[in-house]
Amino acid sequence: MTDLTELTAVQLVDGYRKGAFSPVEATRAVLERAERIQPEVNAFVRLTGEEALDQARRAEERWRRGEPCGRLDGVPVTVKDILLTRGQPTLRGSRAVSPDGPWDEDAPSVARLREHGAVFVGKTTTPEYGWKGVTDSPLSGVTRNPHDPSRTAGGSSGGAAAAVALGAGPLALGTDGGGSVRIPASFCGIFGLKPTYGRVPLYPASAFGTLAHVGPMTRDAADAALMLDVVGTPDARDWSALGPASGSYTEALSGGVRGLRVAYSPTLGGQVAVRPAVAGAVRRAVERLAELGAYVTEADPDFTDPVDAFHTLWFSGAARVVQHLRAGQRELLDPGLREIVGAGARYSALDYLAAVDVRMELGRRMGVFHGSYDLLVTPTLPVTAFEAGVEVPKGSGYRRWTGWTPFTYPFNLTQQPAATVPVGTDGDGLPVGLQIVAARHRDDLVLRTAHALYGADTALVTARSAG
């Protein structure tokens, strides 16, 4: 019998259409899987079994009549507990957020999923306010890696990544302000896309400003394209949202990579020390791109590490996030979050604007770079998943999570689309990710290239089932 938890969203929809199985069967299987994995990996802050089954029954009836209400009718999805979901508390990983509500509004991406008939099975874990690159919080504890529960799932969308990797829903909504979709997707061995800023509308606006993106976390690039076709549409509540996409991302998948100009930067010009197992897996995947017809050149983008500017913007955003809290509420915060809040509160407006200047120059440099290259390819991270419950690998000497994520946060500053594709494992069986970056508004190229890699006969890691 088919294990419905191992199917992609595309496969589920095809099965519903053919009558091979139903939304109720798929939802029940996903809920059972979620309940089974939860004690070990802690991917969820809340499962909504009865509501999900009720949604699935309505979807099943629509399919029975041959009248699905949208492109994801009956497909189980999860939502990171940063994004508003009607009828459910959104606590953002914080004991300082009251669960009382009212919770009467969907975030734009959640609203689009609902309109297309998606079945909401639960809210996934996040560090407090999504502030760091691993997932643990005073509210919900530590989220663990599906491949080794002693390791971190990454963050801040760690619960989403673990859920997809273990079959607890093929689609997940995550958020990414410095790598928070790509980091956990890489550590957990799934696909994650940070679309061009504004492609997926966001409301309420993030205190982290235009660093914050919403993106799909899925089993493969085809599912992400389908999901982006649904959630990547305008919403009047987001003044910075882009207009309608020029075409379907799903339809653009088939173009392949032949003739694309690909710059491969293994270390950002020697700025990043990459573990040999990571470097080797990424290089083999890059060689496969060349075999598929891409013109691959080893070339580095022209920028130095913008971490100081990123910290100014990120820490200032964190200070703004908690500005409304009383002293007693602040004592409830993650100690690391309290530290960066203190730093952020000390920056001046001139400091902030100087960081914006760095950001604008970085964007200019990357714009020029993409005049010569269609894509930039790097490792997603220089390391694989490390010990759960800590912000940085022990003995690394890093002070903050940005020390081990130098490939991800620059492209939040530039607002470019960037995705991670699983391309192998290290000696401990932990996934390695390859990052694909394109010029702003060229999400189609990122998805197309990732889809080509998934279709190639390589050692791509697939999401592990818990069966």
Residues with catalytic roles: 80, 156, 180
- Which residues lie below 8 Å from residue 279, measured CB to CB, with a gap of 6+? 266, 379
- Which residues lie below 8 Å from residue 220, measured CB to CB, with a gap of 6+? 8, 191, 451, 454
SS3 307: helix
Distance of CA 295 to the CA centre of its chain: 28
Answer yes or no: are the C-beta atoms of 106 and 86 closer than 8 Å: yes
Q: Using CA atoms, how far apart are residues 126 and 153, in angstroms rounded to an integer?
A: 11
Cα atoms found within 13 Å of the Cα of residue 302, Cβ hemisphere only: 12
Question: Which DSSP category does 79 fall into?
Answer: E
Pairing of strands 261-264, 148-152: unpaired
Answer yes or no: are the C-beta atoms of 183 and 159 closer than 8 Å: no
The first and second tokens of residue 279, run together, are 């470097």
Secondary structure (DSSP) of 102-166: ------HHHHHHHHTT-EEEEEE--SGGG-SSS-EETTTEE-EETTEEEEE--SSSHHHHHHHHT
The first and second tokens of residue 392, run together, are 């940085």
Length of the chain: 467
Q: Using CA atoms, how far apart are residues 306 and 359, in angstroms rounded to an integer?
A: 8
For the beta sheet containing 171-176, the strands, ordered from the edge strand earlier in sequence to the opposite edge, are 44-47, 119-124, 76-80, 171-176, 213-218, 191-194, 418-425, 431-438, 375-379, 261-264, 295-298
Distance of CA 222 to the CA centre of its chain: 15
CA distances from 434 to 111, 283, 286, 450 (A): 31, 9, 9, 9
The first and second tokens of residue 250, run together, are 């799903």
Answer yes or no: are the C-beta atoms of 197 and 232 closer than 8 Å: no
- Best CA proximity match to 230, nearest among 287, 185, 173, 276: 173
